[in-house]
Amino acid sequence: MSQLCLLSGIAKTKRRRFLGAASVKPWSFIISIMFESYYPKKFCREFVQIKGSGQLVNIMATVKEIKPAMDDWVRVDRYDEYRRICKRYGLIVRTDTVFRMSKKKNILKNVIGGKRLTTTYAFGLPFNGSSKDGLVHVFIAKSKGNLENCFRDGWYPLIIKHRVIDRPGIDIFKFGYNLGYPKCCVGFFRQFNNWYKYSYLYEAFKNTKKNRYHYLSNPCTRDITYSYIYHMPCAYNCKATIELARKIKKAIYAEEPEFVEKIDRHLKLPLLIFYEIKFYAFDGEIKNGKLHYKDVYFIGQMSENNLYESDLKRGNCVFLEDRDVVILNNGKLIRRIRWQRRNFAPEIPFIVQFN
């Protein structure tokens, strides 16, 4: 969960701030345990102990002041501990609101505009001493000025009286800048982050020269620990993104070199991407346009989108044919996934490996 790129939340309130939307070659990996949480030996280990490692790189980059600020989500009952850890690392914390998650089916029938929400469905409540459960949305930074800028623009779509209210477009720009994202990527995101018209990851793919897919511009593993970036790049060879990722990588290497080695290996795995929250990583390699593999892992985060893992596990080769996804096992057809045009969250599958 996080950032300019992905969250859509909801809330039931009259106040704007109470809203809802966080040295082995890859071929030898056992991918089923590849994306487990990472526990640093020392640097920022305390954060992982209370909330997992999903935003670990983001936190490290903020501690090192490479990122000016970030937002995060913390269980209400762990907030006091989280704040103490932030203080230990010189970070200032500002709370926003409490997210109480809800199932998608509970929203679509009762909320006008609910179908426009994409990945996160939550009711928002004010954060106070009476809060018992949910996730508190927080902003952290080392500078008060950076913290205030991020807090001012860092809000998400919400519901007032059962109707979705979108944020102003200018806040999307400003929030991206306040989080330290490259201007070119913020602009590209603003243009193509329209789930009714575009598949963003595919648009970035089209905007990249063939076979120039740089691993430091790989955004697909950002929510599962192993990525240097937390934004959606404008291209998979974006110079500004690569430069930002290099700074973060260098800073982390000075503290946790083993973590850097693992991130690099994960970022270079071949991927089959359907759209923003449906994609698969493979223990394999691409040869002559076909992805040959030993194992596969769904990394799209939302389990209801994991429609093809069982078929992919039965195969050992996958490729595209007229936008259909063809799965083979030693040349025998396992399944052909037919491409279908969709009006919302369009899927345009592609295979890519970042090098």
Q: Of 96-110, 135-149, 192-206, where does mean pLDDT reach its minimum?
A: 96-110
- What is the model's pTM? 0.84
pLDDT of residue 17: 32
Check residue 113 and give left, alpha or beta (phi > 0: left; psi -120 to 50: alpha). left
Q: Indicate the average pLDDT of the chain.
A: 84
- Distance between CA atoms of residues 226 and 54, nearest Å: 8
Q: Pick the residue with more confidence: 160 or 241?
A: 241
Torsion of CA 34, 37, 42, 44, to 10 degrees: 130
160 pLDDT higher than 60: no
What average pLDDT does the segment 45-69 reach? 96
102 pLDDT higher than 80: no
330 pLDDT higher than 70: yes
- Distance between CA atoms of residues 341 and 50, nearest Å: 42
pLDDT of residue 319: 98
114 pLDDT higher than 70: no
pLDDT of residue 118: 53
Q: Show contacts of 207-211: CB within 8 Å, 24+ apart.
A: 207/234, 207/235, 208/235, 208/236, 208/237, 209/237
- Distance between CA atoms of residues 204 and 183, nearest Å: 15
Q: Pick the residue with more confidence: 226 or 31?
A: 226
What average pLDDT does the segment 232-254 reach? 98
287 pLDDT higher than 70: yes
Q: Pick the residue with more confidence: 175 or 131?
A: 175
pLDDT of residue 162: 63
Q: Of 78-92, 117-131, 262-276, 326-340, where does mean pLDDT reach its minimum?
A: 117-131
CA distances from 8 to 45, 113, 158 (A): 29, 12, 8
pLDDT of residue 82: 97
Nearest residue to 71 via CA among 59, 61, 85, 57: 59
What average pLDDT does the segment 100-104 reach? 64
pLDDT of residue 133: 82
351 pLDDT higher than 90: yes
Residue 9 · residue 158 · CB < 8 Å: yes
Residue 93 · residue 79 · CB < 8 Å: no
- Distance between CA atoms of residues 319 and 312, nearest Å: 11
Domains of the chain, by residue range, sit at: 3-268, 269-355
pLDDT tens string 174-229: 999 999 999 999 999 999 988 889 999 999 999 999 999 999 999 999 988 999 99
Confidence of residue 97 (pLDDT cuts 50, 70, 90): confident
Strands 332-337 and 278-287: unpaired
Task: Count CB-CB contacts under 10 A for residue 303.
Answer: 8
Residue 178 · residue 62 · CB < 8 Å: no
pLDDT of residue 29: 36
- Distance between CA atoms of residues 147 and 155, nearest Å: 13
Q: Pick the residue with more confidence: 19 or 48?
A: 48
User: Whats the size of the chain, residue-wise?
Assistant: 355
Residue 294 · residue 270 · CB < 8 Å: no
pLDDT of residue 21: 30
pLDDT of residue 132: 76
What average pLDDT does the segment 289-306 reach? 92
pLDDT of residue 158: 57
Buried b (16+ CB within 10 A) or exposed e, 12-42: bbeeebbbbbbeeebeebebeebbeebebee
pLDDT of residue 31: 37
What distance, in Å, lies between the first and last C-alpha atoms of the chain? 26
Q: Of 4-8, 129-133, 295-299, 303-307, where does mean pLDDT reach its minimum?
A: 4-8
